[in-house]
């Protein structure tokens, strides 16, 4: 039986996640914020079971990127095969893509 990995959030990931939720609530409705939150929670559940679910960055091989929606991706790293650290969320439409 596989051991589920621990998930930790970097301070940056927490800050950006809360900013995204706040933006969604200010721009749309609670429903859209809940949909985004459920997508993130579903992804985290999958990552606990399958740490290599998302592809590695072409630039920084230790980082992996998961597309959550057409607007947003999550970047994470695997630490000691026991923990996944959520590094950051970012806007797919910006120039900061890690590829």
CATH number of the domain within which 54 lies: 3.30.2310.20
Residue 21 lies in a domain: yes
Q: Which residues constitute the domain of residue 55? A: 6-91
Specify the pLDDT at position 13. 97
Residue 73 lies in a domain: yes
Residue 48 lies in a domain: yes
Closest CA to 89 of 60, 68, 58, 62: 68
DSSP 64-78: EEEE-SSSEEEEEEE
For residue 31, give both structure tokens.
């429903």
For residue 77, give both structure tokens.
């790293």
pTM higher than 0.85: yes
Residue 99 lies in a domain: no
Residue 53 lies in a domain: yes
Whether the Cβ atoms of residue 53 and residue 47 lie closer than 8 Å to each other = yes
Residue 97 lies in a domain: no
Structural domain count of the chain: 1
pLDDT tens-digit map of 23-63: 999 999 999 999 999 999 999 999 999 999 999 988 899 99
């Amino acid at each position: 039986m596989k051991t589920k990995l621990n998930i930790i959030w970097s301070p940056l990931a927490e800050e950006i996640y809360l900013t995204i939720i706040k933006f969604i609530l200010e721009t749309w409705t609670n429903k859209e914020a809940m949909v985004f939150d459920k997508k993130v929670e579903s992804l985290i559940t999958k990552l606990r079971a399958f740490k290599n679910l998302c592809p590695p960055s072409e630039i920084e091989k230790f980082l992996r990127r998961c597309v959550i929606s057409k607007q947003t991706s999550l970047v994470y790293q695997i630490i000691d095969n026991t923990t996944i650290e959520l590094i950051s969320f970012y806007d797919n439409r910006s120039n900061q893509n890690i590829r």
